[in-house]
Amino acid sequence: MEKVIIIRYAEIHLKGKNRGYFERVFCVNLERAMKGLKHELHRTSGRYLVTAFDEARMEELCGRISRVFGVHSYSVGLCVPYDLDSVYRAAREVCPRAGSFKVQTHRADKKYPMTSMELSAHIGGRLLDEFPQLTVDVHEPGHTVCIDIRENGTALVFGKFERGAGGMPVGTSGKGLLLISGGIDSPVAGYMMAKRGMTVELLHFHSYPYTNDGAKEKVKELARLLARYSVSGRLLTLNVAHIQEEIHAKCAAELNVTLLRRFMFRLAEQTARDVNAKCLITGESLGQVASQTIEGITSSNAVVKLPVLRPLIGFDKEEIVLIAKKIGTFETSVLPYEDCCTVFLPDFPAIRPKLSFIEEEEKKLDAEALMREALATKEVFEL
């Protein structure tokens, strides 16, 4: 009788003839998540088993597994030969001694000499005989004993399904570059694209000396938190303070944010090409702030050729906050450090800027020189 962690994948079973590729990537991601913890990972038909682990660190191991995209659910259980006595001994370990219960059987091996219902009835009857304080409730049991008969002569016996992160294995949907600020939204956007299988690189714009090192450290911490979900552990930063100074000195005040964002998108596109990313990702939500009107979004898109993905575009703030709390980034995001967009913020930013007016104002700036200066400030942090 061996204690195991049983891992079931999510959408991979829908991939037909390409399923092998997705399973291989999924396996690599699981191994990466469990790195540094004693374990062995085995692949069976539609299941992954973690064995030979240190039970003292089982909670940490399960925590890491739960954050791997592609995991539909996992269970801590027992692996035994699938003869009746062995299955019963395992069920006896899993089942409580009192209260309501039921036995639920799944047979991957359809050649097993008993049907699923017959095996459930047999094991349930023996449990009732040994523990008279148990009662059967097949509709709303207090506990379920799950039996999974496998094709290799073994049975997996467990009591709970724990939810995994869901989604697709990271690395199966290309690479994108996330424009990460210190706020609530952009980390959630990165998480959501990683959940769809995208490898996510991180780019942060800062305005030192107008913003301090605390703001940068805050973003580093957000990057570390996202790395738990297989989002890149590398953070790229660019300084745009000189661009903001030029915009503030030469252009219409109400366009300060709009013009800055157009530069950010240009710089992000260049950085994306350098890291071989195929799209940009932002945390924009339609109408949430002045720069996130359809006119503001169109203005930003106009300066880049790469697609811009906005996974939060239809979310309200409450929905975004709920996800931020779930993934553990909220408490860091609300720390009181300013980001670059708060520097030279006009009293009345343009809500529906006209593209023709924006382009006229932008002609007052030497865009290529400002871009070169910003790109020369690039820093790379391996977190």
Question: What pLDDT is attached to residue 338?
Answer: 67
- Same domain membership, residue 181 and residue 115: no
Residue 147: strand, helix, or coil: strand
Question: Looking at 96, 129, 163, which one is the last position of a domain?
Answer: 163
Strands (DSSP E) along 60-167, which ranges?
71-81, 99-107, 134-136, 143-149, 154-158, 162-163
- Same domain membership, residue 121 and residue 189: no
Calculate the alpha carbon distances from 361 to 248, 252, 285 in Å: 11, 7, 26
Question: What pLDDT is attached to residue 345?
Answer: 65
Residue 111 lies in a domain: yes
Residue 242 lies in a domain: yes
- Same domain membership, residue 328 and residue 199: yes
Question: Looking at 106, 139, 163, which one is the last position of a domain?
Answer: 163
- Same domain membership, residue 191 and residue 109: no
Residue 369 has phi, psi (to 5 degrees) of -65, -40
Domain that holds residue 44: 2-163
- Same domain membership, residue 201 and residue 79: no
In the chain, the number of structural domains is: 2
| Site of tokens 């977190």 | 383
Tokens linked to 180:
């990460």
Question: What pLDDT is attached to residue 269?
Answer: 98
- Same domain membership, residue 328 and residue 303: yes
- Same domain membership, residue 319 and residue 206: yes
- Neighbouring-strand partners of residue 377: none
Q: How far apart are CA 156 and CA 45, in angstroms?
A: 13
Q: How far apart are CA 316 and CA 348, in angstroms?
A: 23
Question: Looking at 163, 196, 229, which one is the last position of a domain?
Answer: 163
Question: What pLDDT is attached to residue 213?
Answer: 81
pTM: 0.90
| Site of tokens 């990972």 | 41
Could you state, in chain order, the average pLDDT of each consecutive group of 10 residues for the chain (383 residues)? 94 85 94 94 89 95 96 96 96 94 93 94 95 93 95 93 95 96 94 96 92 87 92 91 94 92 97 97 89 88 96 96 96 81 68 89 95 96 89
Residue 293 lies in a domain: yes
